[in-house]
Chain A
């Protein structure tokens, strides 16, 4: 395992730090992906490649098109133009659920746990290929009971790993913001994805939980999965990512290892500068909501 990991990281060593650079072993490849809202070009990516087996961070100021790119890649939104492929399978017009089945599973910026289901039910939902989910066999427990048992065992193991086992029978709605992020990640693992895409995994998580969350993200890579995440928290980006892609105004403006990107003047201009400004000039509703949610979560925590 560890050898594979270092090999994966080593493969990136010779890759030059320039936007849209080809990778030695890409799991995702995209070309000329564009998406406009009204007159605004939210995403305009000429070429993107995501290296297999490493953690790639996608950063950029608010409105840079990171989440929109996520939505496009995972089939939650349709681009105006462009082609992209996952493991060589072209994904244009492929619906979101098929993308997930192929092994490319995402989480959401505003966590989407199913609050009126219990934690364990949330987990069971993630399992793939359930016979009991077919309408015709649903009424006959004998057809799906054994599979359900196996899925539950797997779910329990994951809950233990993510330290949610104590919350097993609680409604997911009663979890704190950080626990929701953990649950969403654990649930995504039930699908057994090759590529896991995390949209702001640190947003609304209280600082005490951040370290363990970081550890969990790293452990995803260590078990051989590819991770792509969007994040604002620069410490996290520096800490755990092997490669960083920087977006601004819909385009990829820089790429490279964390060290090289953080030192890049273009990035500081495009991202850090703009980001600092944006706090004053534009109010991002999603951010407002996130902040509100985080506050609420703090309030409801036991």
Chain B
């Protein structure tokens, strides 16, 4: 068995046995549940009020209770929620080695440090994408159960694919969270970085530069910002790919060259 496969298996064992990755999966599952709840309320506000789901004077302005609105909301929840939750996952996978000081066992080791980083990145990507697939499947199931009108197989699947692409790009951007978890030797730096990038992406999207800012691209692809926002082209996606590749390389170089004093 190659060193990489062994490293992935050990990282996967750690992930399976810890609460954090499962917490991320459960937290992410709230996206279709909450979005579905909004659709139930929009579909019949009076019934929602009688059930106590909506306050007497409150109104929900998320749009109409149909498939396009539902998928659009789900996409935004996946893009924004994914950016934060995947950062939690990445901060844990990389940062815990420094917080728990277990990194010492990974350094003077026959399995190279680069292999360890790639294995960790693989676990983050796998966990993130499997969780996204689960959330999308759950979303479609909930949409079907609510019996929303306006389902178009071609449009619906195109939107789902756009959300899936957004999730892939969101996972790819976690490379910088991995770098800051390593260089910051813990959890604070990657989470601070993520908050900063989410905030900056909002500002740049409003200013019209979102399609060219890597951290805005996934959310725009998933439908956040609406029709007023400049659509993302291949250039924007290319920027995300380059950013992800640079971040992964930077993380590997850091693991291989930085002084490990923790």
Answer yes or no: are A and B bound together in one complex: no
Give chain B's interface residues, CB within 8 Å of chain A.
Answer: none
